[in-house]
Amino acid sequence: MSTDEVVTDAVDDEVAEVLVPRHDIPTGGRSGFVLIDGRQVHYLEWGHRGLPPVLCLHGGGQTAYMFEELGAALGG
């Protein structure tokens, strides 16, 4: 698995409003996208970049936002 490039602002604000109402999007984590083997993958990041990472993968039908409380607690 290789990381090709980091993609930012992959979904514009108007499209995001249609997909998920803005008031339903938690704002604690930093959101970003990365291309892995040609596929766009969304991630959330909390805490400080110099510390060891913790990777949490959600199951089908879930989103990265299910880790909002855990990320905030671990990220300080």
Q: Which tens digit of pLDDT belongs to each residue from 49-68? A: 788 888 888 888 888 888 88
Do 24 and 35 meet the contact criterion of CB atoms below 8 Å apart? no
The pTM assigned to this predicted structure is 0.55
Q: For residue 48, what are its two tokens? A: 């400080």
Nearest Cα neighbor of 8 from 33, 30, 42 is 33
Q: How many CB atoms lie within 10 A of CB 26?
A: 16
CA diameter of the chain: 36
Domain of 22 in residue numbering reads as 3-75
Q: Is a pLDDT exceeding 70 seen at residue 27?
A: no
- What backbone torsions phi and psi does residue 46 show, to the nearest 5 degrees? -120, 165
Q: What's the domain count of the chain? A: 1
Please report which residue ranges of the chain form alpha helices under DSSP H.
13-19, 68-75
